[in-house]
Chains A and B, each alone.
Chain A
Amino acid sequence: MPITRVCCLVCGSKIEDQSIDPPWLGRFRVLYATEEEPNFARLSGLGSRQQFSDVVRLDAADTDADAELVDIWLMRTNFGDQPLAVPEAVDPPVWGFPLHAACWSIMAEVCSPHKPDIQLFFDLCRSFPVDLGILNWGHDYAGSVCYLVHQSELAAGEESQLWNTIRAGTHRYDPLNIPEISRVFEHSNPDIVDFGPVALPRVDTKSGYRDDFARLPIELLQVILTYLPTADAGSLRRASRIFGAIPLHDEFWRSRFWPGREFDFIFESKQYFPLVKGRWRSIYFSIKALSACPPVANRQRIWKLGSCLWNLLSEAQTKLNGKLLGDPSGSDAGPSEPDVHWSTASRAIIPLNESFTFGARVLYDRMIPVPDQLAALFVSTVEIYGRHYVSGIRFQQRSGNSFSLGYIRQLQETRLVDYQRGIRGLSVINANTKRRSQWVGDSESIPRRRLVPGSDLRSTVKFLKGGFDARDDVLSLRDSVLWFPDVPLPHLKFSGAQHMKTRKEDLPVSTFVFGGYQGQDLGKLLRLTVDVKMDDTILALEAALSDGLPPIRAGISKTGKSVERLEFEIDGPAGERIISVESFWIRANTFLGFKVSYPQLGYILSDHH
């Protein structure tokens, strides 16, 4: 049994050794590159997991037992010197990302009639962190893995690492070779449906019934039904007596197996379709009866995961705009970066020589000088597993000329801001494919540093980096840390918070103002509430106000036995005012608690440490 754990990049289930039952879990291929050619990705033949190492046949066509096996480093996270490596140990010269042979075959069906671009696929894998042998795409592989901290306990901007695989019964069933499906196609019976001429019901306009579909030829009505998902076709047939009278044609049932439809993952339908004409209705119902059986359910799960990956790959094929700055992997050195001051908006960029288990890694830099005479700035975004990330920027000059950086998708573009003043330079560092970014700039021109809601310490693959003019030479706290939800107003001062600049995790800071920016509402403060978890972690702070004003809250909303709510009454209307706040720390990044003082009644509010 292998001493390390690696999981399939498509389905998230463990890749086992060859003695495992079921055998498909032990049959895998690898998207790999070699030390000599780190930017030339290939697909391997079948590999094998052994106790202390993993081996693979380098040629994708090699599946026979005689082909040469080469040592391979699966789910590599570190590309620099390894201080902890045993001196005599030699790293394998080949490294890559494994996936079950069955999952690869399903991917190929998902992509059909196209073929996935292996280099792009590999670069995509390189752009996401690996937690404990699991590639962290930002999803839980449809329930196949769990997170170290549950998603509901994360505050905005935080992300959890993956923790463990879940042994779900259905996930062990071979998703590729399902004899039950073939049996349905091979033994289906002809449908007993009369497809002869159809008489549509007469529409008696005198009765007040109106249905303009009565005017359409029946072929068109059938096409419309075919284009609809099954549930919607049902609704339409209930809504219109014309549609209700049409027998559901063979083509209607077959269209349920088209790409993007209910049973698109039953790809056997393509193989059998010329042979089963007139039987699609019975096939549909037989497959439906099978859909809960474990191998079919597992196929469907992996198909969905594969479809998401294919969408990501398709998106990444967009042309990357801008001048190449140089590939940090070293093999493709472009022109050097101009000697200017950059103020970066990037978060958690992990250097190549550090373990890549969270955050993001830069694969390619792009840079353009920002043109003058700017009329407008457009930002392109992309959705990755339900979150939106910035993918590119387009500058438009008053003359109408455009200059683009990154991936530009005009249909998804948002006009961000009209520039009145110049920007010296803007550069996008991106990880070849998917991207998330914060915007750094003058908050008078661009009010929020966060461009897109939902972005956070996610496994990002593309960042924007802004080079601005001399005003950025000295960065205040306001300009150097992340804020959620909004960057605070310029006149707010943050005493004693300078250490936040150096925090490695780079989590966002929240501010909330309960007394009004001029202090005019300080007299309305009634209560401070602190939600504390069992381990003394503060989850949330809330200020309750008088005059029916809604409470102001920062943090995670969570209730339950594990959460203790501490309430501290402050009689604002009677004149009580907070005069100081002290915070207690062990080292710069471990927060213990805080104390709020307000003198009139002498209460002390503190975390219960």
Chain B
Amino acid sequence: MAPIQILKLQNTFKPGGKVFEVERAAAEHSGLVQMLLQDFDDSDLEAIIPISVDVSDKGLAKVFEWMTHSKDLPKTTDDGSVRGPDDSAVNWKPLTFSDWDKKFFDALDSEALYEILIAANYLDIKPLYELGCQFVANMIRGKTTEQIREILNITSDFNPEEELRIREQKALVKDESETAEKN
């Protein structure tokens, strides 16, 4: 029997989750799915694979869209360099977004972006959560505190005591910031 090429995945976090059909090559971006595939034989895989993560079906659909589009990408970086914070990140370089990735992330609202980050983390899709984190980092880069709050939809509710505590804690970072700005 030919190996199963289409996997069925369902989010069981809340009842009534949609059953997604995902190509196996795409689903293998997920470390979690890879682990499950090792544990089951093909006859098990005809059944629905349950996953449980607090995101909507809409958010999951975006994740599967990215996986399907990127199914031919290497599942781990193959040039020996690791793109994220890892013990071997000696040759780290900033992640670059392909045109498709750029359009994909640009089109997301902040709710969808958070959901993708949560799902990518849960499903252990390293390239996707790295791209997502880099995308958030790019949004923040060069912005003031107030601009960041506006972009990320954060309201400030620090009371004076908290402000003081955070400022003390942050004296360190402020100091660094000044150095970095000078550089």
Residues of A within 8 A of B (CB): 112-113, 207-213, 215-217, 219-220, 222-224, 226-241, 244, 248, 251, 254-255, 258-260, 262, 270, 273-274, 284, 288, 291
Contacts and interface: CB of A to CB of B under 8 A. Distances in A.
Contact of B121 (A208, A219, A248, A291): A219
A217 B118 contact: yes
Given A113-B91, A230-B180, A240-B149, 4 more contacts: A210-B154, A236-B140, A244-B166, A274-B87
Q: Which of A227, A228, A237, A258 has the most CB of B within 10 A?
A: A227
Contacts of B180: 229-231, 262
A227 B157 contact: no
A217 B55 CA distance: 13
Nearest to A250: B85
A244 B170 contact: yes
B120 to A, nearest CB: 9
Contacts of B137: 224, 227-228, 232
A234 B170 contact: yes
A231 B181 contact: yes
20 contacts: A211-B152, A211-B155, A212-B110, A212-B152, A215-B114, A215-B118, A222-B85, A223-B85, A223-B130, A230-B173, A238-B170, A239-B149, A240-B149, A241-B157, A241-B158, A244-B169, A244-B170, A255-B89, A274-B87, A288-B179
Contacts of A222: 85
A234 B166 CA distance: 11
A223 B133 contact: yes
A207 B158 CA distance: 11
A237 B173 CA distance: 9
Nearest to B154: A211
Contact of A234 (B129, B130, B153, B177): B177
B38 interface: no
Given A211-B154, A259-B91, A216 B134 contact: no
Given A229-B180, A241-B162, A220 B121 contact: yes
B90 A230 contact: no
A235 B144 CA distance: 6
A240 B92 contact: no
B163 to A, nearest CB: 9
Contact of B143 (A232, A240, A274): A232
A407 to B, nearest CB: 20
B123 interface: no
Say whether chain A's binding surface is mostly helix, strand, loop, or mixed. Answer: helix
B133 A220 contact: yes
B160 to A, nearest CB: 14
A233 B143 CA distance: 10
B183 A262 contact: yes
B129 to A, nearest CB: 6
A239 B144 CA distance: 9
Interface of B: 54, 81, 84-85, 87, 89-94, 110-111, 114, 117-118, 121, 129-130, 132-134, 136-137, 140-146, 148-149, 152-158, 162, 166, 169-170, 172-174, 176-181, 183
A255 B94 CA distance: 11
Given A227-B133, A230-B173, A244-B170, A235 B118 contact: no
A217 B130 CA distance: 14
Given A216-B118, A260-B93, A227 B134 contact: yes
Contacts of B89: 255, 258
A229 B153 contact: no
Nearest to B132: A220
B176 A234 contact: yes
A291 B183 CA distance: 10
B93 A217 contact: no
Nearest to A215: B114
Leading 10 A-B pairs by shortest Cβ distance:
A209-B157, A227-B137, A231-B177, A239-B148, A234-B177, A234-B173, A230-B180, A231-B180, A230-B176, A258-B92
Given A208-B157, A210-B155, A212-B153, A223 B84 contact: yes
A233 B110 CA distance: 19
B15 to A, nearest CB: 21
Nearest to A216: B117
B91 A112 contact: yes
Contacts of B85: 222-223, 226, 251, 254-255
Contacts of B94: 227, 260
Q: Which of B92, B121, B170 has the most CB of A within 10 A?
A: B92
A80 B180 CA distance: 50
Nearest to A207: B157
Contacts of A251: 85
Nearest to A210: B155
B40 to A, nearest CB: 26
A227 B148 CA distance: 16
A270 B91 CA distance: 9
A485 B70 CA distance: 47
A220 B136 CA distance: 11
Q: Which of B81, B94, B183 has the most CB of A within 10 A?
A: B183
Contact of A220 (B87, B129, B143, B170): B129
Q: Which of B111, B144, B169, B177 has the most CB of A within 10 A?
A: B177
Nearest to A264: B92
